[in-house]
Structures are given as C-alpha cells and as structure tokens.
Structure 1
Amino acid sequence: APESLMQALEDLDYLAALDNDGNLSEFGIIMSEFPLDPQLSKSILASCEFECVDEMLTIAAMVTAPNCFLHAPPGTEEIALTRWRKFSHPAGDHFTLINVFNAFKEASANSASQCNNEKWCRDYFLSCSALRMAEIIRAELVEIMKRIELPISEPDFGSKENILSIKKSLLSGYFMHIARDVDGSGNYLMLTHRQVAQLHPFSSYYNTRRIPEWVLFHEFSISEDNSIRVVSEISPDLFMELVPQYYFSNLPPSESKDILQEVINHLSPVSTMKKEQK
C-alpha cells in the first residue's frame, strides 16, 4: 500500500539512511549490506561506536532466528518458567537472549554428542533448531562485518558500561519502538502508534512479575493479543539523549510526550552548563 511505502521511507529518513535527494546515504549503503531490518542494521552500526559489537551481533542473531522459547506442554508451565529464570537478566529480554545463546554455546562445547545438546535444550524448554539457526546467522553477520572492515569489539557482557552501551545501540535503531506503562499494571501505550499493548508471555519481565515503566521493544504483534515482544527497560533520559529531535517533534501529542518534554527541559540547562564550562 502507498501508506506503507511512505512510512518505510519516513523510517529510513529517521534512521539517517537517506540523503536530501531521497537516495541511500553513505550510512544507508553500509546498512544495506546486512540482510536485516533497517533498525537492526542501524543498531549494529551504532554498536561499533559504543563498543559492544559482540553482544549486539548475538542479539541480532537471536531476534532474527525463530523464537527459542518453546510452548510448555500443559501442566509443565511452572517448570518452564523456573528453568527460564536461570537466564533472566534484570536489564531485559535482549540481555536474557544473550544469556540463553551463551549458555547454549557452553552446553554445545561441553557435550560429546548432538543428542546431549538436544537434551539440554529439552530440559530448558528451548528450541535446539532455533538456537542453531541463531549460531548460523551470527556467523554470517561476523563475516559481513569483516568483509566491510567494521571493528568487532571484545566481549564484555555483564559490565555496567557494556549494558549501557547495548541500550544506547538498541535505542539508536529502535527509538521508534518505545512504549510506556500508563497505569502501573502493564498496559503499554506505544509512542508512535498510540496503541495499547501487553508484554508477551515469553518476556522475562512477565516471568519475574516486574513491570518497567519505559521500554524498548523489538516488535509488536496484533495476532498475539496485541503484545510487544523482546522488551528491555530504558530510561527517558537515555531515550531523549539518542532520539533524533525531528522524530520527537513529529510524535502525536500524548501524556508520554509531555513527560519526555519535561526531561528535555530538565536536561537542557545541564548540557548548556557543560558547554559553558568547556
């Protein structure tokens, strides 16, 4: 549909993938080297700047591969939730996916046979084929990075700086995928579409019963009861630091936008003072 095409072009423009004539910018040309959604390509390129490429490639592979969490057979749901809790990361689902991928790699390295590997996956209610697919995708992304001579930073997963860097990289690509819990009970209003969504049951937040106020989400699914999938907590301050100003100004009016405007008003004097001190 023409509206979808216009929306896609507008999104590419917000991601700095187009030049003033509407052609691919230099940045857009590099983004197009990756067989991924533009937002994900942008996040990978941002991770070069924020030095968390290793972790961002794992996230990209895990969200591109099929979902790795299996629907637990009736009567085993609580067992599955308990097993998944082992991988839960307080920073959110993107970080939980890194834990799952790293645990799978470790289990593969320690298992003598493919059968042991599959048993490990079954024990944790995880899809072995999805995780193998994530390994293949990640290896392909590493090859692309090497071919176009982009730096791959050393793994540093777990450090405070690394977690902040990953959030900055994700926000660089997914600033259009932000939602706010409007009533404290998990009803998330998306900034862009003004639609209300709930956390997907596979979210680690769903498992830990914690409801963050502001989140970045990978995708929104109408078919799965209006749920947002792969969700991580972000701070409004960090969002305002990285969001393109003209994208923010084009957002429809909302209480969430007013709150973010307050954040700008609060941040502005600080940044002005810093400039004056320089």
Structure 2
Amino acid sequence: MFKRLFSFANAKPAKAPDGVRIYAIGDVHGCADLLNALLERIYDEALKRPSHASALVMLGDYVDRGPRSDAVLQTLVTLKERSPVPVRFLAGNHDDTLLEFLADPAVGETWCEFGGRETLMSYRVTPPARGADIEAWRAAQIELRAVMPQSHVNFLQGLEESVTLGDYTFVHAGARPGVALDEQSRRDRLWIRGEFLNDTRPFERMVVHGHTPADEPHSDKRRIGVDTGAYATGVLTAVVLDGEERGFLQTRRVAAKGPILVEALAA
C-alpha cells in the first residue's frame, strides 16, 4: 500500500512520530457519504492494529459546496466526543466564513457565491436571491442560528489553525515561503494559494494541506496536498503517514447514487 519516500541530496525524509500512523483527510465540503466511508476504513485499520498507535487530522473546509454540510458537522462533533483514536480538527476558510455569516449577515452574499448556499439548504434554510438586500440576509442568518445545533457552532469555534506531528505540519491552505511555520498568520494558514504552491523553497517541516483541489493528490519534497475536489469529483482523499512511508486512501463515488469504493494508492 505504501512506498518509502524518495531521497533528496541534502535532506532526510520526513518522518511521523515513532510508532504512530497518521491519517490526514482533505476538504470534505459537505460530502457526508464519502467522509463516512473513509472514516470507516480508517477506523477499521486502526482498531485492527492495537499495538500501533494511530492519529487522525482533519484539514478543514467541512462545509459548503456539497449537499450535506449539516451531516458532516454532526459526524465530526460525534467523532470529537467519541473517537477511539486522537483526532485534531483544523479550520478551513469556508468554515471561518460560515462563522463570519453567523456574526454578520452582510457576509452572506459573498459566502453564498462560493458555496454557502448549499450549506444553508442543508439546514433547510432558503438562501436569499442573488442581489437581495441586507434584510433578506439578516432573516436567513436568524433562521440559520435558530436551526443550527449549538454543538455545530461550538465545534467550528474550537477549530485549530495548525498541528505539528513529527516532521509534519498540518494546515488547511499552506504557508508563506520565507516565514517559519510556527509564525504563520491565520490568514495565510487558511487562505494562501499561489505564493505557497509556486515556490520551491522547502520549509523546516513537511507541510500537509488541502484547500487547492487537484485531480490527484500531490506529494513532493516540501508539501503533500490532499484536496481532490470531493464535491465536484466524488473523490475524497486521505494521506497516510507511517515512519518514513506515505500513501493515500480514497473513497470514490462511482455514480451519482452508486456505491462508494475505498482505494489505496502509492505516494
């Protein structure tokens, strides 16, 4: 399933903490079916290896674009309360924007232009028409606040910006080149794209991220990207890190209402 990292002339391979297998899941974006299938596979693997510790990192963007943001958040709330393995939950820019809308209805129109409309509908709130006035957005905000479980809000408010495990730093979007990973701004951790992706300088640790969708997961000497655009492609990806080895797990929707397959890919 996995293969050893290729070597670099002046760098040693990144390594997970001794004895710990790490799973990091990319952007879910309301795809509850894909998430549940992937979690089932991950927990089945973890519980079959009781002598080997496991850890799970969720890389953010749980809401928007896909049809069931409400169900995704409920799954993650339950996971936070009852997971048999440690789980860390990172904030994504979409998760942050949902919180902004709950505080300020003026955010609504912009939020709905990049996925918030589907989140409102998942909670049975009718989105205002495009170009609606602030009162329409205020009414939608009030309705969402009334029907959205407080546990979902609390979960979003408690998300972390980044996590470091072994030689890996996990973050939603990436990091600004030339700035130490521990000194990155929240804005860059949740939103950066081109400056991070197009630079070639390695950081002091390997960066694992989502945020920027691609047809296939990305893996090189400085970053691992696991956003495979689940809401559009029907493919949700997790990277698996064990010692100096890395691989990928994917759940794949074969047809709009077809079966979910779990595939293991080499890095």
Give the TM-score range, shorter chain. under 0.3
More strand, by proportion: 2
Q: TM-score, normalised by structure 2?
A: 0.26
More helix, by proportion: 1
Rg comparison, structure with higher value: 1
Q: TM-score, normalised by structure 1?
A: 0.25
